[in-house]
Amino acid sequence: MDLPLIEFDSVSKSFERRPVPFRRVEAQALALNCVSLRVPRGRTLGVIGESGSGKSTLLRILLRLTRPTAGRVLFDGQDVWGLRGRDLLAFRRRLQAIFQDPMSSFNPRQRIGAILSAPLEVHRIGSRAQRTDMIVDGLQRVGLGPEILARHPHQLSGGQRQRVAIARAIILRPAVLLADEPTSALDVSVQAQVLNLFKKTRVGLGLTCIFVSHNLGVIRYVSDEIVVLRRGKVVESGSAEAVFSSPQHDYTQALLAAIPNLPSVQQCAPIG
């Protein structure tokens, strides 16, 4: 199948800054500037960028949370922003996301059980009993037990919350999983657990993914293809292997050069 599952076609997004309504628009901040990219089915696209690069805006436009100022976004050949009614609902089911801030990703007043069953209720999947089974199964897949269901989000650790976020995202068995800096707020060892879970899930469900991060090591670990964004423009793209081993653009080279060097382990102390 040659048709990419997700395609951005010359997408631009500008945010207007109006100091006082009715006055002339003072400044236009161009978050995205004519961005085009393709994500083939089953592949993971890593989006690298620093703050202000527009990488989060990219995801928000795809998720229909922010309207683009120009350009089209296509999902499976259909214009995402043209969807209505039942088509829109079907789209929602196939495209899910995990967000950055584990603190604000969940309604603090709801228990995890309610949070996980919400997607099922919205799409009217299963009876109540069936839903409970699906939720427990979903938790198990991310390595959590059913005792989590009765807890509130603030009672869980950061790592546990991101696991629940993954569970929520996959409960509808989507085709696409979008991840917006999901491990940036986590410790190294917890990050490793969540990233491994992400990889396992992606393989298990055959997901197509877009993974946004400013951490190049993380991007290298999860991505097949890479896109480098700078101030809203794509400055480099290609396979992960190619971009990381022989970066073409100055900016990419500067980014890679700026990464602190961790000397490789030569010899672990004799053990066992």
Chain residues 216-245 in contact with other proteins, contact rule CB under 8 A: 216-218, 220-221, 240, 244
**Helix, strand, coil % over all residues of the chain, rounded to 5:** 40, 25, 35
Q: Which of residues 131-150 bind other proteins (CB under 8 A)?
A: 150
- Burial-class residue 111 by CB neighbours within 10 Å (0-12, 13-18, 19+): middle
Nearer to other proteins, 32 or 176 (CB): 176
**How many C-beta neighbours within 10 Å does residue 137 have?**
12
For other proteins, the closer of residues 70 and 254 by Cβ is 254
Q: Which of 24, 84, 128, 154 binds other proteins (CB under 8 A)?
A: 154
Kindly provide the residue ranges of all beta strands, DSSP E only, lying in the chain, ordered along the sequence.
6-17, 27-39, 44-49, 70-75, 78-79, 95-98, 176-180, 208-213, 225-230, 233-239
Least distance from other proteins to the Cβ atom of residue 190, Å: 8
Return the C-alpha torsion angle 197, 4, 213, 223, nearest 10: 60
Does the footprint of other proteins cover residue 127 (CB under 8 A)? no
32 or 255, CB closer to other proteins?
255
| 227 CA to centre of own chain | 14
Name the residue nearer to other proteins (CB basis): 36 or 185: 185
Binding mask 52-71 for other proteins (x = CB under 8 A): --------x--xxx------
Amino acid identity, position 234: V
Q: Which window, 27-35, 38-46, 85-93, 125-133, contacts other proteins (CB under 8 A)?
A: 85-93
**Nearer residue to other proteins within complex by CB, 41 or 93:** 93
Please select the residue that binds other proteins; options are 10, 107, 130, 246, rule is CB under 8 A: 107
Among 83, 118, 136, 205, binds other proteins (CB under 8 A): 118
Query: How is residue 10 written in tokens?
Result: 């010359």
For the CB of residue 165, give the shortest distance to other proteins in the complex, in Å: 8
Smallest distance from other proteins to CB 204, Å: 14
**What are the counts of helices (DSSP H) followed by strands (DSSP E) for the chain?**
9, 10
Q: Which of residues 3-62 bind other proteins (CB under 8 A)?
A: 21, 50-51, 60
Say whether 28 sits in a helix, a strand or coil.
strand
Which residue in this structure is represented by tokens 């800054």? 17
**Tokens representing residue 210 in the block:** 């877009």
